[in-house]
Amino acid sequence: MADRSLRGMRLGAQSLQSEEGVTFSPRVQHTYRCETCGRETVMIFSAEAEAPDEWECKYCARTATRLVDSLPVIVDHSDEKIPRTHWDMLLERRTRDELEELLEERLSVLRLRRGGQQKIGA
C-alpha cells in the first residue's frame, strides 16, 4: 500500500518541465566599462537585439560604455534635450530689469500689508 501512495512536492521547489526539445535563441555577450570605477560588466543579450551603447555599472551605478574591440563606443549626446529650469523659462518671457521691477512692486505690497514701509538695511 505504501508503494502506491502519492508523494507530495513543496511548492516552487522543483520544476516539472525539462529542457528536452527546447532550442534557445542565439545569445551574444557585450562588455561595458565604467570610467568612474574602471570595472567591466559583461551583459548577455539576444543576438537579434540591438545592444545599447551605455549601461548602468553594477558596481557604482554610474554610466558604463560598451566596448567594441577593446575600445569604448563614442556616444553622441548632441540630440538630447537639455532640461530647462523654471528660471530659464522665466528669462525667456521677461528681462532681468522687468523681474527686478516686479520684485520691488511685490515687496512694497508685502511691506504695506505688514503695517508700514520698512527700509532694507536701515
The rounded distance, in Å, linking the Cα atoms of 31 and 39 is 10
The pLDDT tens digits for 40-85 are 999 999 999 999 999 999 999 999 999 999 889 988 888 888 889 9
Q: What is the number of structural domains in the chain?
A: 2
pLDDT of 122 > 50? The answer is no
Q: Does residue 51 fall inside a structural domain?
A: yes
Dihedral of CA atoms 9, 12, 14, 17 in degrees, nearest 10, equals 110
Partners of residue 41 on adjacent β-strands: 32
Closest-CA residue to 53 (of 39, 62, 40, 66): 66
Mean pLDDT of 29-47: 93
Mean pLDDT of 94-108: 95
Q: Does residue 14 fall inside a structural domain?
A: no
Q: Does residue 13 fall inside a structural domain?
A: no
> Which pTM does this prediction carry?
0.52
User: Domain of 97?
Assistant: 83-116
Mean pLDDT of 76-99: 90
- Tell me, yes or no, whether 112 and 87 share the same domain: yes
